[in-house]
A and B are shown apart, each in its own frame.
Chain A
Amino acid sequence: QLQLEESGSGLVKPSQTLSLTCTVSGASISGGYSWGWIRQTPGKGLQWIGYISDTGGSYYNPSLRSRVTIAIDESKTHFSLKVTSLTAADTALYYCARGGGDGYEVVFDVWGQGTMVTVSS
Chain B
Amino acid sequence: DIQMTQSPSSLSASVGERVTITCQASHDISNYLSWYQVKPGKAPKLLIYDASKLEAGVSSRFSGNGSGTDFTFTINSLQTEDIATYYCQQFDNFPCTFGGGTKVETK
Interface residues of A (CB under 8 A from B): 4, 40, 45-48, 59, 61-63, 95, 97, 103-104, 106-114
**In the complex, how many residue pairs between chain A and chain B have their CB atoms under 8 Å apart?**
50
Q: Which applies to chain A's interface (DSSP): helix, strand, loop or mixed?
A: strand
A102 CA to B4 CA, complexed, in Å:
23
Please indicate the chain B residues that have their CB under 8 angstroms from the CB of A113 in the complex. Answer: 41-43
Indicate if the CB atoms of A107 and B34 lie closer than 8 Å.
Answer: yes
Interface residues on chain B, size class: 20 to 34
Please indicate the chain B residues that have their CB under 8 angstroms from the CB of A110 in the complex. Answer: 43
Indicate if the CB atoms of A109 and B91 lie closer than 8 Å.
Answer: no
The residue on A at minimum CB distance from B101 is A45
Indicate if the CB atoms of B95 and A62 lie closer than 8 Å.
Answer: yes
Indicate if the CB atoms of A106 and B96 lie closer than 8 Å.
Answer: yes
The residue on A at minimum CB distance from B55 is A109
CB contact under 8 A between A47 and B98, given known A104-B49, A106-B91, A109-B55 = yes
Indicate if the CB atoms of A107 and B49 lie closer than 8 Å.
Answer: yes
Shortest distance between the CB of B64 and any CB in chain A (Å): 13
Indicate if the CB atoms of B98 and A48 lie closer than 8 Å.
Answer: yes
Shortest distance between the CB of A25 and any CB in chain B (Å): 13
Please indicate the chain B residues that have their CB under 8 angstroms from the CB of A97 in the complex. Answer: 44
Indicate if the CB atoms of A107 and B46 lie closer than 8 Å.
Answer: yes
A109 CA to B96 CA, complexed, in Å:
15
Ranked nearest first, the 7 interchain pairs of A and B with the lowest CB-CB distance are A46-B98, A111-B43, A106-B96, A61-B95, A111-B44, A109-B46, A106-B91
A107 CA to B42 CA, complexed, in Å:
18
Given contacts A45-B99, A114-B43, 16 further A-B contacts (CB under 8 A): A4-B43, A46-B36, A46-B98, A47-B98, A48-B96, A48-B98, A61-B95, A95-B43, A95-B44, A103-B91, A107-B46, A107-B49, A108-B36, A109-B46, A111-B45, A113-B43
A72 CA to B55 CA, complexed, in Å:
27
Please indicate the chain A residues that have their CB under 8 angstroms from the CB of B99 in the complex. Answer: 45
A63 CA to B94 CA, complexed, in Å:
11
Indicate if the CB atoms of B43 and A112 lie closer than 8 Å.
Answer: yes
